[in-house]
Amino acid sequence: MFTRKFIIVCLTTIMILSAITITGAIAQPLSGIKFIVDAGHGGRDPGAVGANGLTEKQINLQVAQALRNCLIEYGGATVQMTRVNDTYISLESRVNKANINKADRFISVHHNGSVNPTHNGTAVYSGSKGSSKSHDLRNKVQKRLVEMTGLRDLGANTANFYVLQRTSMPAILTEASFITNPKEEAKLRSPAYLWREAYYIYLGIVDHMGN
């Protein structure tokens, strides 16, 4: 015969397992969605370079890898990267990978550069001929990144970038900050800062997909 204590333990266990199941379901807002995460530049193409030698290609890859982890671990998404190391990948190859794999969304990670070392700010781009979904994704990610960086809002913009014009799915390109700004370059050396940047891109994507 079951004791009262045994019954209480069993009921408590069932409640905990149920809570875990519900939480797990809530924590998978991107389940079934396929992403291509593109770390801009790489290999012989360093991108913008900071005053103290930090290269854009390094930072792009670190943020892209953190974004991939957020999309998979928190969102339950399927993710492929255009590059996973310091390798040169042509723009055409990046686009082809997204189109051949029929990705649902394409996210290209970049950081800006300027001849003016005091210039800084946050911007996100969608293609000038992009769909309304592209523009919505851009707007949602821009809002979250400005919230995270606290920098001047340079706007949710359109551009004729190759990876935005040639991809067959909604696509954006992020420019969270200027690596050529010495203060920003120092921040970009922090893994914790780069993870937060990736996480806020992820939050913007979740905001967009929740429409």
Residues 93-115 have pLDDT tens digits of: 999 999 999 999 999 999 999 99
Q: What is the pLDDT of residue 24?
A: 46
**Residue range(s) defining the domain that contains residue 154:** 31-209
> What pLDDT digit, counting tens, does each position of 159-188 carry?
999 999 999 999 999 999 999 999 999 999
Count of domains in the chain?
2
Whether 69 has a pLDDT exceeding 80, the answer reads yes
Same domain, 41 and 99: yes
pLDDT digits (tens, 9 = 90+) for 29-51: 999 999 999 999 999 999 999 99
- Do 52 and 17 share a structural domain? no
5 pLDDT exceeds 90?
Answer: no
d(CA 109, CA 67): 9
109-141: pLDDT as tens digits: 999 999 999 999 999 999 999 999 999 999 999
pLDDT above 70 (res 2) = no
Same domain for 107 and 188, yes or no, is yes
**Token pair for residue 97?**
């990978």
Q: Is 41 exposed, middle or buried (0-12, 13-18, 19+ CB in 10 A)?
A: buried
Q: Is 13 exposed, middle or buried (0-12, 13-18, 19+ CB in 10 A)?
A: exposed
* Residue 71 and residue 162 in one domain: yes
One domain for residues 193 and 171: yes
Q: Which of 144, 106, 137, 103 is nearest to 122 (CA)?
A: 144
Nearest to 105 by CA among 158, 24, 159, 30: 30
Task: Say yes or no: 85 and 127 in one domain.
Answer: yes
Query: How much is the mean pLDDT over the chain?
Result: 91
Which residue from 118, 128, 107 is spatially nearest to 175, judged by alpha carbons? 107
Structure confidence by residue, pLDDT tens digits, 191-202: 999 999 999 999
- Give the pLDDT band of residue 25 (cuts 50, 70, 90): very low
Least confident of 3-12, 63-72, 91-100: 3-12
User: Is the domain of 83 the same as that of 171?
Assistant: yes
- Residues with a catalytic annotation lie at 175
Helices 132-149, 191-209: crossing angle, 10 deg rounding: 140
Question: For residue 58, how many C-alpha atoms fall within 13 Å in the half-sphere facing its CB?
Answer: 11
Give percent above pLDDT 70 in the chain.
Answer: 87
Confidence of residue 211 (pLDDT cuts 50, 70, 90): confident
pLDDT category of residue 71 using cuts at 50, 70 and 90: very high
First-to-last CA distance in the chain? 53
One domain for residues 16 and 39: no
Residue 8 has pLDDT above 70, yes or no: no
pLDDT at res. 4: 58
